[in-house]
Structure 1
Amino acid sequence: MVGLLNQAYPLTTIGVSLHLDPDDGPSAPPRIDVEVDLPEGVTLQRTISAEELGIPLTLAGIDEALSSGPPLRLPSGMHEQLREALELSPSAEPVWLEFQRPFGHLPAVPWERLLQPDLGRPLLRLPFSAIPAPPSADPVRIAVCSPWPGTAPLREFLQVVVPRLPGVQVDVFCRDPSAVSWAPPGAQVTVHELPEEEDVDPEPVGLSGRPVDEAELESPWLRWMAQTIAPDSVDVVHLVCPARLSQNFGLLDFGASPSGVDSPRAIRLVSTGQLLAGLTRLGAWSLSLAMADVRSSGRGEAGLRIFGHRMTGLLSGPVTLHLPSAAHAEELVAAYRFLYDPVPAPPPISPRLTIACHPGLVRARAVGAPAGSPGLARAIEATLDDCTPDPHLLRQARHDPAEAYAWVASSQRLLERWTSGLVGTETDPDASRTERDGVTSALRFISSVIEDAVRDNKGASR
C-alpha cells in the first residue's frame, strides 16, 4: 500500500515489501517485491528472492551477513531495469525509499549501499511519521553522547563536522579526557565535566522493587544529559555507540555509566522507548546515530539500522545513521548542512548514509519545487497547526531568558507524537474526520494551555 506521504507529495519512490503469496507453502523461500513509482505511475514491478539479494531476511541473519558475509548485490539485470524505470523522473530530485507493509526486517538492509551507486542522485527514506519537523531558522543546538571512550567518530565529529556548521551550539557528554582538545578554536562546544557517581547512578529503576515509571530515565547517560541541559533544550541528539540485537529489535549499548561504573545489562542497553523518553525530556526533535568502533566482532549494524527505523515513527524530525570510516566525515557534514543549516543545501549522495526525513523538508529547501497534492498536504499541515502551539510563540519562548524552555519543548514533542498517531501513515486524515474530532479538540485544548502559560510567563517577566 502506498503511504500517506507518497500520496501527499509528487515523489519518485522505490517501494520494497515482503512478497506474500497464498499459494506458497511454509518452506517457500522468502521473496521481496520491488516497485518503482513515479507521480505519473508505476514504471517497474519485480519480485526478487533473498538468495538473489545475498542476504537472509531474519534480523540475526541480516546482521551476520553485514558483518562477515560477501558484499551485497542486486540480481543480474536489475541495475539496468532501475535506471530505465527512473528515466522519466526529474534527475535533480531525490529518490525516496518507501517500506510498504508487510516489510518485516527489510529496513535493516542497507538499501543505500545496494541502490545508491546506480542512481547518481540522493536516496532518502520516507519516515513513519507524516508530521513534518518544526521550522527552525536558528542554528541548532546539538547534544553529542559518546559513552565508549576512545572512539574515532567522536573526534571526527568535533574536528570535521562542527567547524562546518556556523553558529551551532554543541554539548558533549563522553568519558574521553582528550575531547576538549578536539573542539575547534572559537566553536561553541562545551565538553561537560563528568558527574559524581551518586549524581547519575542511583539504584536502578526496576531493580529496586519500585514500579517502573516510563517517564523515568533508567540510563545514567540519559539522566546526566537531561539534568545538565535543563532548564534549556536541544534540537538534535547525536549518539556514537554500538548496538545489539534482541529477537526482533535493536538496542543501543551505552556500556559503563559516566562515572565508569559497570552497568547491568538491563541498564546499559537502551531501548527505543527509553531513548524516546530521554529525547522528549531534552526537547529534541531529531536523532543522529553513528556506529562506534569499539566492538571487535563488528556485529550490531542491523540492530542500529532497525533501531533507527523505529525512531522515524516516533520523532517529527530527521533520523540519520552514519557508518563512519576513514575520510568519510565529510559525508556527515553534508547531511547536517542539508538537514539543519538555515542556508538551504542539497541532500548528500552517499551509500554510507541513511537519512529518513519528511518530504516537506526537501520541498521547503528547493526553489520552485512542485506543491504536491495540495489538498492532502495541506490537510496534514493543518492538523499539525490545529494540535500544536504556534511556532512563532515557541521561538519567542526559546529566546526568553525568563522562560524555562525545556518543559515547552518537551510538551511540543509530545503533541507532535500524538498528532502523528492521529494522522497515521497510510490513510487520508480527512477520511475519518468525525472520529478524529474529539481527539483533535483535546490536543487543541492542551496546545492552548501551553500557549497561555508561555504568554503569562512572558508578561510576568516584564
Structure 2
Amino acid sequence: MAMALRTEIDLPTLRVTLDPATAEAVLATVRGRGRPKEVVRCTLRELGLPTSVFARVTEARLTVPSALLAELTPAVADLGASPVRPHNALWLEIPSPRGLLPVVPWERLLAPLGRPLYRLPFHPVRPQRPEGRLTVGLLVADDADAAGTAVALADQYAANVPGLTLHVFTGARSWSETAARLGDAGHVLVHRPPAADAPPTDHATELVPHPWLRWVLDTVDGARLDVVHVVAPGLLADGRGALALPDPVHRRRGEPPVVESVELVEVLTQVGAVALTLAPPPSSHDASGLRELADDVARLRPGLTAVHDLADDPAATQLGAALRTVLAPRDEAVVLPAVSAWLNPLFLDTVTDADVEVDGTAWTSDMQLLDDGGSALLPHATRAAARDLPDAWVASAARSIEQLQMAWLPAAADRAADPAAVSALDKVARLLDRYVPDDPAPRHRPDPGGTP
C-alpha cells in the first residue's frame, strides 16, 4: 500500500485516480497524512487513453493537456521538499480504481514540473540496497542494432557501478558482434547462446518455460544477480502487459513467446534479484506494455522495478543518472523523462527523527519492519549474506520471505497482523539463518561458453 509510505515518511505526493463515473483522471496533491486536494481533472481521451482497458493503447497519443500542467505547477510547488533524498523528488501514487493510468508515461509528460518523479511501490517492505559489488544480468533481444544497445548499456553500468560484474545475454544473430565489441574479460562476460539442438535444461519447469530465461538460470548456475535488465518489445492486451521475448536461437517461427509477470517474478526470486529494469529496443516507440508489466511485478514483489525508454534515451545517459541516484544518493536529482521507476523511498535515503515528526514509531511490530523499511523477520546475518554472498540461495530465500510478508502481513500501521502468519514467517527466517555461512567463499565465474 503506497499510502503507508506516503503517510509514515511525510512524502510530497501527486495522487492520480480514476473516476469511473465520469471516465476522468483526477489529479490531487497530498503530503504525508494530509487530506488529498484535488487540483485538476481531465478525461481519459484528453490523456490519449481509451475508456476501456480492453482497447488498444497508442503510445504516441499519450499526452497531458497544457492546462493541466498550468494548474499542477503551483500546486506541486506548494508541497515543499521531500524529507528523504533526493529532496526535490515528487512521489506518484496511483491507487485503485486505476484502469490504464499506470501505462501513462507520467515521468515524461510531467517533466515540465521540474521535479524527478518516482512511483510509490505497493508495500513498504524494502530489500537491502546492494552495496559494493553489483552483479547485473543484461538480456538484449535481437534487433537491427542489438550489439550497439548492449554496448551503450554496458558502458553506463561500467561508468556508474563500482565493483560491477556484467553478464550479457544476446540472441544468436547479434552474439558474435556483441562479444567482439565488449570483449570477454574483466567485469564483462558475454555468454554464447545455447545450440539449436540443445536438450531441455533442469530449469524447464512450468514456472520458467521460456528458453531465454532458462538459459540465464543455467548459465549463472546458482550465482546471484542483483539486477536483471531486459531489452525486448512489450505487449499490452486486455489491460495486461507482457514481454515479447524471442527464443535466443530463433528455433521458433511466427510471433515470439511472451513472458508475463509470474514468470519474471520466479526468475527474479531464483537469482535473488533486488531490481528489474525493462526496456523496449530503440527501434520501438511503445513502452506502454512494459509499464503495465512493471507495475504488475511491483505489486507482486518488493524491490526496485523500472522501465527505461531507449527511444528517448538511446545513449542510456538517463539510465546512468538513475544508477547514481540509487547507488550514491545526493540531496538533489535530475529529472529523468525516459525512466519510470517503482521504488521504496528508503532505497534512496533513510528517515531520521529530525527529518519528520510522526506519532509513535515509524513502523509497528505488526508490520514487522525495521526503521529503514527492511524486514524485521530477517536476522542481521541473513541480511548481510543476502547482500554479500555470491551464491543466490540466501538472497533467493530472503526475497521469498519478503514476498510472503507482502502477502500475509499488513501494509499499514493501523492494521493488525495474523499471529499465525507472523509465527510461520519467523520460523522460516530462523531456519534459514541457521544455515547462513559466517564467511562467504567466492564462487568461480560462469563460463561465457566460447569466443567469437
TM-score over 0.5 for the alignment? Answer: yes
Q: Please give the alpha-carbon distance, in whole angstroms, between the structure 2 residues aligned to 1:185 and 1:60.
A: 45
Give the direction of change, closer, same or farther, for the CA distance of 1:391–1:233 in structure 2 (3 Å limit).
farther
Once residues 314 and 422 of structure 2 are traced to their aligned partners in structure 1, the CA distance between those partners, rounded to angstroms, is: 48
**Deviation readout 1:279-333 (Å, 9 max, x if unpaired):** 11111121011111455xx4x5221110011111223211111111355511000
Distance change in 2, residues 1:54/1:192 (3 Å): closer
- Name which of 116, 130, 134 aligns with 1:136: 130
Q: How far off its partner does 1:439 sit?
A: 0.5
Paired residue for 2:69? 79
Name the residue aligned to 2:446: none
Check conservation: 1:59, 1:302, Cα contact below 8 A: no
In structure 2, the residue matched to 1:15 is 15
> In the alignment, is residue 290 of structure 1 matched against residue 283 of structure 2?
no
Inter-CA distance 327–83: structure 2 relative to 1 (3 Å threshold): same
Deviation of the 1:263 alpha carbon:
6.3
In the TM superposition, 1:207-226 aligns within 5 A as: 213-214=206-207, 217-226=208-217
Distance 2:2 2:400 in 1: 27
How many residues are aligned here?
Answer: 425
Q: Does 1:259 align with 2:249?
A: yes
Paired residues for 1:20-419 under 5 Å: 20-21=20-21, 30-39=23-32, 41-59=35-53, 61=55, 63-64=57-58, 66-67=59-60, 69=61, 72-74=63-65, 76=67, 78-91=68-81, 92-118=87-113, 120-149=114-143, 150-151=145-146, 152-175=148-171, 176=174, 177-183=176-182, 188-199=187-198, 201=200, 213-214=206-207, 217-255=208-246, 257-262=247-252, 268-293=257-282, 298=285, 300-325=286-311, 328-339=315-326, 341=327, 346-364=332-350, 369-370=355-356, 375-377=361-363, 379=365, 380=367, 381-382=369-370, 385-387=375-377, 389-396=378-385, 405-419=391-405
Match of 2:448 in 1: none
- Whether the aligned pair in 2 keeps the contact of 1:31 and 1:47 (CA below 8 Å) is yes
In the alignment, the residues of structure 1 paired with residue 102 and residue 277 of structure 2 have an alpha-carbon distance, to the nearest angstrom, of 16
Q: Is the 8 A contact 1:200 1:221 kept in 2?
A: no
| Structure (1/2) with the larger helix percentage | 1
Contact 2:2–2:124 at 8 Å: present in 1 too?
no
Cα displacement (A) at 1:347 = 3.9
The verdict on how the C-alpha distance between 1:258 and 1:184 changes in structure 2, with shifts beyond 3 A counting, is closer
Which residue is equivalent to 1:209?
none
Unaligned runs of 5+ in 2: 82-86, 442-452
Deviation, structure 1 residue 408:
1.7
Q: Distance in 1 between matches of 2:218 and 2:292?
A: 29
Kept after mapping to 2: 8 A contact 1:97/1:126: yes
Q: Distance in 2 between matches of 1:375 and 1:102?
A: 30
* Distance in 1 of aligned mates of 2:276 and 2:386: 23
CA distance in 2, matches of 1:372, 1:186: 51
Tell me the distance in 1 between the aligned counterparts of 2:186 and 2:263: 31
Q: Deviations over 1:44-95 (max 9, x none)?
A: 443321233343244465622x14x3x612252x323212212333343311
SS of corresponding position for 2:392: helix
1:458 and 1:60 mapped to 2: Cα distance?
A: 50
Q: Distance in 2 between matches of 1:320 and 1:374?
A: 33
Secondary structure, counterpart of 1:102 in structure 2: coil
Q: Hey, what's the Cα distance between the residues in 1 that align with 2:160 and 2:46?
A: 41
AA partner of residue 192 (structure 2): E
Change in CA separation of 1:363 and 1:312 when aligned onto 2, cut-off 3 Å: same
Normalised by the length of structure 1, the TM-score is 0.82
Cα offset for 1:227?
A: 1.1
**Superposition deviation, residue 438 in structure 1:** 0.5
Q: Which runs of 5+ in 1 are unaligned?
A: 22-28, 206-211
Q: 1:353 to 1:399 in 2, by over 3 A?
A: closer
Helix, strand or coil: the match of 1:262?
A: coil
* Alpha-carbon distance between aligned partners in 2 of 1:448 and 1:346, rounded to the nearest angstrom: 40
Please report the TM-score for the alignment, with normalisation by the length of structure 2.
0.84
Matched residue SS, 1:244: strand
Distance in structure 2 (CA, Å) of the matches to 1:292 and 1:234? 22
Percent of matched pairs sharing the same residue: 23
SS of 1:48's equivalent in the other structure is strand
Judge conservation of contact 1:162–1:168 (CA < 8 Å) in 2: yes
Q: Secondary structure at the match of 2:243?
A: strand
CA RMSD of aligned residues (A): 3.2
Note if contact 1:59-1:108 (Cα within 8 Å) is conserved in structure 2: no
